[in-house]
């Protein structure tokens, strides 16, 4: 059986360029993850955390993002002192009114008059507590969030709605694209790995790990969607295995192309 090291320059160029382009693909995929899944919990981390993954695919059944924020990191803005532990009775009442409104499905008429768009009770609370200083399309202040405007009913309603995570349709689309794309990717890399001179066991192991990681990752998305946060380890394990299998396979192929002396019988 011929090895990569015995093949012509064009084959080596093919394998090398293929691994370079795929590595770029991995890099861009990581940036994209950083942009979407990774920010699901409002915090930016270097890699998606288990909580990001659970929020992205599973959502927060039985609650809304608005509620989570008003109870959590946004509670302090109800306080004149910006201290969530020091709400005055009046501030507590506003906080409770907003939560109660959310729990009743966030009816529009309590936010503003649907015809005139004059703020009603809830709109006025958000206005007076300074939420729109940061949550308006033209907010520019430090730490503002203009991409999540709350100064219109449609803007708030987007968050005051049960968060059910990714829809089945979206997940089906994402799954088939990834199964086909990653399958072909590991097919290409697998050919190169199979043509190296490493032991048959190592080559088979790396090839199987690549394909298995795709199944683990995508199976994990579905498990998290329906099973919840207990399954995020599947997605994390799939992602780690995928990165490791790809990196190892690419290094094996490049080593075979450029660093290994062709066997003498060539």
Interface pick for ligand HEC out of 15, 55, 74, 254 (rule CB under 6 A): 74
Asked if residue 131 binds ligand HEC (CB under 6 A), the reply is yes
The nearer residue to ligand HEC, 76 or 178, going by C-beta atoms, is 76
By rule CB under 6 A, what string of x and - marks binding of each residue 174-213 to ligand HEC?
----------------------------------------
- What region does 62 belong to: left with phi over 0, alpha with psi -120 to 50, or beta? left
CB 210 within 8 A of CB 192: no
Interface pick for ligand HEC out of 129, 224, 235, 257 (rule CB under 6 A): 129
Asked if residue 36 binds ligand HEC (CB under 6 A), the reply is no
Asked if residue 111 binds ligand HEC (CB under 6 A), the reply is no
Q: Site for ligand HEC (CB under 6 A): how many residues?
A: 22
The CA-atom distances, in angstroms, between 207 and each of 23, 200, 252 are 17, 11, 11
Instruction: Tell me how far apart the alpha carbons of residues 83 and 103 are, in angstroms, rounded to a whole number.
Output: 24
Structure tokens at 239: 């992602």
Angle of CA points 166, 171, 173, to nearest 5° = 135
Structure tokens at 98: 């907003």
Structure tokens at 141: 């202040």
Interface pick for ligand HEC out of 101, 112, 153, 159 (rule CB under 6 A): 159
Binding residues for ligand HEC (CB under 6 A): 42, 65-66, 69-70, 73-74, 77-78, 126, 129-131, 133-135, 143-145, 148, 150, 159
């Amino acid at each position: 059986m011929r090895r990569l090291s015995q093949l012509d320059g064009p084959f080596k160029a093919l394998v090398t360029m293929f691994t370079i382009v795929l590595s770029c693909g991995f890099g861009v995929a990581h940036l994209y993850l950083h942009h979407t899944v990774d920010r699901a919990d409002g915090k930016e981390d270097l890699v998606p955390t288990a909580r990001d993954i659970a929020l992205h695919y599973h959502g927060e059944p039985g609650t809304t993002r608005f509620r989570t924020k008003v109870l959590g990191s946004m509670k302090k803005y109800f306080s004149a002192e910006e201290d969530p532990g020091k709400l005055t009775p009046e501030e507590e009442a506003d906080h409770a009114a907003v939560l109660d409104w959310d729990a009743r499905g966030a009816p529009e008429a309590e936010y503003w008059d649907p015809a005139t768009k004059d703020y009603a009770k809830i709109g006025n609370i958000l206005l007076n507590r300074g939420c729109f200083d940061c949550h308006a399309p033209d907010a520019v202040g430090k730490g503002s969030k203009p991409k999540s405007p709350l100064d219109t009913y449609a803007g708030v309603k987007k968050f005051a709605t049960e968060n059910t995570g990714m829809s089945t349709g979206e997940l089906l689309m994402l799954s088939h694209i990834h199964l086909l794309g990653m399958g072909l990717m590991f097919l290409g890399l697998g050919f190169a790995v199979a043509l190296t001179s490493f032991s048959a066991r190592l080559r088979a192991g790396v090839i199987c790990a690549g394909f298995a990681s795709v199944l683990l990752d995508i199976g994990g998305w579905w498990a998290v969607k329906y099973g919840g946060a207990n399954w995020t380890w599947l997605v994390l394990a799939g992602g780690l295995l995928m990165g490791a299998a790809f990196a190892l396979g690419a290094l094996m192929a490049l080593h075979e192309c450029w660093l290994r002396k062709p066997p003498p019988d060539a």
